[in-house]
């Protein structure tokens, strides 16, 4: 059986990675001048508390040498490795990790490491990793799972919103002027991840509840033929606003009857750029 590898920014719960024997490449969070992520943990609640108080954390991608060290350790017990990386439209990590993997394969030509840009992020990346783990359990080969990811990555739909535009400003996603004007107008942006794996706006609505409902509307519009699949697995995540995420999950259940919803909390990598008021909904659909 091949080894699955992804990053800590895929935002599934720790139990998922442990239960499915998935290796995690750690991206670093820098908060108030201190780096976290490699043996130095950062409490997520304290992280978001700091952001609410005005902290502006940053993140650092993995470099090729770090990736090389991880793959060199893994190939001692695994002849085949499948790495599923965060969208290159958001981070350069997938490029760095691919370089590290190539260095290992150059030294060990009998080993196979497949690196894929999922064009997904956060819990959307987690969703595609979930499917990869499911297919591996069913006995699919590394090539079969890799091909499934390539064939279906554009069908992983992300939609998200924030209640506080200053969260996006602190994360470098909007200007301070835009955040100030939008806040005064009560504007709540709804965004998604496009075909290139980049964050793009969908619409602007007034009011938090309307923005949360707009996400479910987006799901209804983009599910297409999958709307009739009662067994569909979807993911919901939040930074530090559990009640809002639970509202979205309940609305999905009420509107579509889907029971296989997976709830998690956004880690510090995505959270550093989107803040505590982010809610994200991800699912399989026909087109982005």
Spans of the chain, pLDDT less than 50: 177, 180
Phi, psi of 261 (to 5 degrees): -90, 135
For the chain, report the end-to-end CA distance as a whole number of angstroms: 32
Buried b (16+ CB within 10 A) or exposed e, 187-216: bbbbbbbbeebebeebeebeebeebbbbbb
Q: What is the pLDDT of residue 178?
A: 56
- Which of 128, 153, 178 delimits the end of a domain? 153
Are 21 and 128 members of one domain? yes
Buried b (16+ CB within 10 A) or exposed e, 42-60: bebeebbebbbeeeebebe
Q: What is the pLDDT of residue 170?
A: 61
Integer Cα distance of 28 and 239 in angstroms:
17
Are 147 and 168 members of one domain? no
Q: What is the pLDDT of residue 55?
A: 87
Integer Cα distance of 251 and 13 in angstroms:
22
Integer Cα distance of 202 and 193 in angstroms:
10
Give CA torsion, residues 58, 169, 207, 284, to 10 deg. -50
* CATH code for the domain of 252: 3.30.1180.10
Are 162 and 219 members of one domain? yes
Side-chain-side CA neighbours of 167 within 13 Å: the count stands at 23
Integer Cα distance of 278 and 276 in angstroms:
6
Are 110 and 19 members of one domain? yes
- Which of 120, 153, 186 delimits the end of a domain? 153
Query: What's the total number of domains in the chain?
Result: 2
Are 175 and 188 members of one domain? yes
CA dihedral for 152, 18, 275, 249, sign (positive or negative): positive
**What are the CA-CA distances from residue 2 to residues 81, 133, 157 (Å)?**
5, 10, 27
Are 214 and 99 members of one domain? no
- Which of 153, 170, 186 delimits the end of a domain? 153
Q: What is the pLDDT of residue 176?
A: 56
Q: What is the pLDDT of residue 102?
A: 98
Burial environment of residue 150 by CB neighbours within 10 A (0 to 12, 13 to 18, 19 or more): middle
Q: Please, are residues 190 and 214 in contact by the beta-carbon 8 Å criterion?
A: yes
Q: Please, are residues 22 and 70 in contact by the beta-carbon 8 Å criterion?
A: no
Are 167 and 90 members of one domain? no
Q: What is the pLDDT of residue 71?
A: 98
* CATH code for the domain of 107: 3.40.50.10170
Domain extent at residue 130 = 3-153
Q: What is the pLDDT of residue 177?
A: 47
């Amino acid at each position: 059986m091949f080894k699955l590898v992804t990053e800590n920014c895929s935002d599934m719960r720790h139990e998922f990675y442990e239960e499915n024997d998935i290796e995690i490449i750690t991206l670093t969070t820098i908060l108030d001048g201190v780096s976290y992520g490699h043996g130095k943990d950062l409490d997520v609640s304290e992280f978001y508390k700091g952001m609410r108080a005005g902290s502006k954390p940053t993140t650092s991608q993995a470099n090729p040498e770090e990736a090389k060290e991880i793959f060199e350790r893994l190939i001692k017990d695994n002849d085949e490795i499948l790495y599923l990386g965060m969208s290159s439209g958001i981070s350069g990590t997938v490029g760095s990790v691919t370089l590290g993997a190539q260095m290992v394969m150059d030294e060990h030509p009998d080993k196979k490491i497949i690196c894929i840009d999922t064009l997904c992020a956060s819990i959307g990346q987690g969703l595609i990793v979930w499917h990869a783990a499911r297919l591996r359990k069913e006995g699919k080969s590394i090539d079969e799972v890799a091909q499934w990811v390539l064939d279906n990555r554009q069908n992983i739909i992300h939609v998200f919103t924030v209640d506080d535009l200053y969260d996006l400003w602190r994360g470098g996603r909007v200007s301070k002027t835009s955040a100030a004007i939008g806040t005064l107008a009560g504007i709540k942006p709804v965004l998604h991840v496009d075909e290139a794996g980049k964050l793009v706006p969908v619409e602007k609505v007034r009011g938090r509840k309307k923005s949360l409902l707009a996400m479910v509307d987006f799901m209804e519009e983009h599910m297409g033929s999958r709307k009739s699949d009662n067994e569909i697995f979807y993911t919901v995540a939040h930074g530090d606003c559990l009640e809002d995420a639970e509202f979205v999950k309940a609305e999905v259940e009420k509107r579509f009857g889907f029971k296989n919803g997976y709830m998690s909390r956004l880690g510090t990598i995505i959270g550093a750029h989107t803040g505590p008021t982010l809610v994200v909904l991800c699912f399989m659909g026909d087109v982005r």
